[in-house]
Amino acid sequence: MRRRFRTSNLSPKWGRILIKLKKKPKTYLIAGLIGLVTIGFIGYFIYVISGLPPLTQLEHYEPKLVTKIFSADSVLIKELYTQRREYIPYNQIPEYLKQAVLVTEDKKFWKHWGVDVRRLFKAALVDLIHMAKLEGASTITQQLARELYPSKLSREKTFTRKIREVITAVQIERTYAKSEILEMYLNSYYFGHGTYGIKSAADFYFNKDVKDLTLEECALLAALLKSPGGYSPIRRPQRALKRRNLVLALMFKNGVISRQQFETATNTPIVLGSGGHRETKKNIAPYFTEYIRQQLEDVFGKNLYTGGFTIYTTLDSRVQAAAEKAVQEFLPRLQKQVRKHILSK
C-alpha cells in the first residue's frame, strides 16, 4: 500500500513551511530560479574580475624602451630592444597629430569616461543584424587597455574579453588624466615595421623628429593605427595614400584644418625618409658592440632590452671607420701575396 506523507508527522514549523510551498509553488520556484541566476552571475563576475590586471599594474606604467649604445664621439652604434620605442611627453606631440588621431579613432575622447556607450550599442546592433563582427566600437582608452595588458586582454572577440576591456578602460580613466592617456596611447601603439610609439614611427618613416612633422605626415601616421600592415606606405603606398587622405578629410570635416590646408595636403604625395635603412648604418664594430651587449646583460639582465638605457663606450667611431677602411684596402693585396706565395712552392 502506498503511504502518504502527512504534515501531522512533522514539527509545527516544518509543517507550516510545507503548507506554504503547496499553496504557492510557482512563487517559490521563481524565487529558486532567481537565486540560481544570482549565484551564477556572482560566479561569472568573480571569473571576469579574476582576469583583470591588478590595480598596482595600472598605476605604474612602464613602457618597453630602446637601449642605445653610443661611441665616445656620440655616434649611435647599436640599439637593443624587444620593441623599438622612444618615449615622448604629451606637450612635444604636434597638435595636428593629436587631432588626426582623435577624429579618426575617438571623436568623443574628451567627453566619455573610457567607454562610448552609444557607439558600443550601435556596434553591437550592427554585429547582431549581420551575425558577424563588423563594427568597431573601442575608444582610445579601450585600445590602450588592450595594448598595455595583452596577456590579460587578448584580442579574441568574446563577450568576457569585452567586459574586461571595458572595466580596465574605466579604471585607466580613473587613474590617469585624459592627456596622460593620449600620451600613453601614442607612445604605446604599433606603427608597423617593428616601430612602437609615435617618436620611433616619425624617425623610421620620415627620418624626422616628431615636432618637425608636417600636416600630411601626421595624417599618415594616424592612418596607420587602423592597420599598420594594411596601410604601410612602404608596401602598400596607394592604400596608404587613400587612407591618409581619408584622415585629412575627417580633419577638415571636424574643423581641425581649413579647406585650403585640406586640398594642399591631399595633393601632396607621400615622401618617406631613409629610416628603413638606418640599422645598417649603425652596424659599426659588430664584434665590439656584441661584447658590450654581453657585459651589459650580465649587469642588467633582460631589463637591458626594455629599460631605455643610454650607454657610452670607449670606441671612437672615426678611428674605427679608418681602421675598417684600411683593412678593406689592404686585405685584397695581402690575399694576392699569400696566393702568389702558395703557388710558387
What per-residue confidence (pLDDT) applies to 268? 95
Helix locations, the chain, DSSP H:
12-23, 25-50, 55-59, 95-105, 117-130, 140-148, 159-175, 178-188, 198-206, 215-224, 237-253, 259-266, 278-282, 286-300, 317-344
Lowest mean pLDDT among 4-18, 182-196, 219-233, 316-330: 4-18
The count of C-alpha atoms lying within 13 angstroms of the C-alpha of 139, restricted to the half-sphere facing its C-beta, is 28
Report DSSP state, residue 277.
Answer: G
123/266 same-domain check: yes
Q: Rounded distance, CA 148 to CA 143, Å?
A: 9
91/155 same-domain check: yes
Using the CB atoms, write b or e for 130-168: b if 16+ within 10 Å. Answer: eeeeebebbbbbbbbbbbbbeebbeeeeeeebbbbbbbb
Q: Give the model's confidence band at 134: pLDDT under 50 very low, under 70 low, under 90 confident, else very high.
A: very low
122/226 same-domain check: yes
190/264 same-domain check: yes
Q: How far is CA 141 from CA 48, 109, 159, 249, in A?
A: 19, 8, 18, 24
What per-residue confidence (pLDDT) applies to 146? 86
Q: Which domain holds residue 40?
A: 7-50
**What is the strand order of the sheet 310-312 is part of?**
76-80, 67-70, 310-312
CB 317 within 8 A of CB 74: no
43/87 same-domain check: no
CB 85 within 8 A of CB 184: no
Nearest alpha-carbon partner for 285 in 111, 71, 113: 71
Q: Which residue has the higher pLDDT, 54 or 248?
A: 248
Q: Which residue has the higher pLDDT, 150 or 77?
A: 77
Lowest mean pLDDT among 37-51, 120-134, 174-188: 120-134
343 within domain boundaries: no
Q: Which of 161-165, 168-172, 236-240, 288-292 has the highest mean pLDDT?
A: 236-240
pTM for the model: 0.74
Determine the Cα angle at 101 with ends 230 and 278, to 5°: 60
Which residue among 251, 279, 307 closes a domain? 279
Q: Give the model's confidence band at 266: pLDDT under 50 very low, under 70 low, under 90 confident, else very high.
A: very high
Which residue among 264, 279, 294 closes a domain? 279
2 within domain boundaries: no
What per-residue confidence (pLDDT) applies to 23? 57
What per-residue confidence (pLDDT) applies to 83? 81
68 within domain boundaries: no
Nearest alpha-carbon partner for 207 in 219, 222, 195: 195
Q: What percent of the chain has pLDDT over 90?
A: 36
CB 233 within 8 A of CB 270: yes
19/154 same-domain check: no
178/104 same-domain check: yes
Q: Rounded distance, CA 281 to CA 292, Å?
A: 18
The domain total for the chain is 2
Q: What is the mean pLDDT of the chain?
A: 81
What per-residue confidence (pLDDT) applies to 82? 81
Q: How far is CA 121 from CA 8, 117, 128, 299, in A?
A: 57, 6, 10, 51
151/11 same-domain check: no
Query: pLDDT tens digits for 53-88?
Result: 776 666 777 888 888 889 888 888 888 888 888 899
Specify which residues 79 forms β-bridges with: 68
What per-residue confidence (pLDDT) applies to 59? 72
Report DSSP state, residue 214.
Answer: -
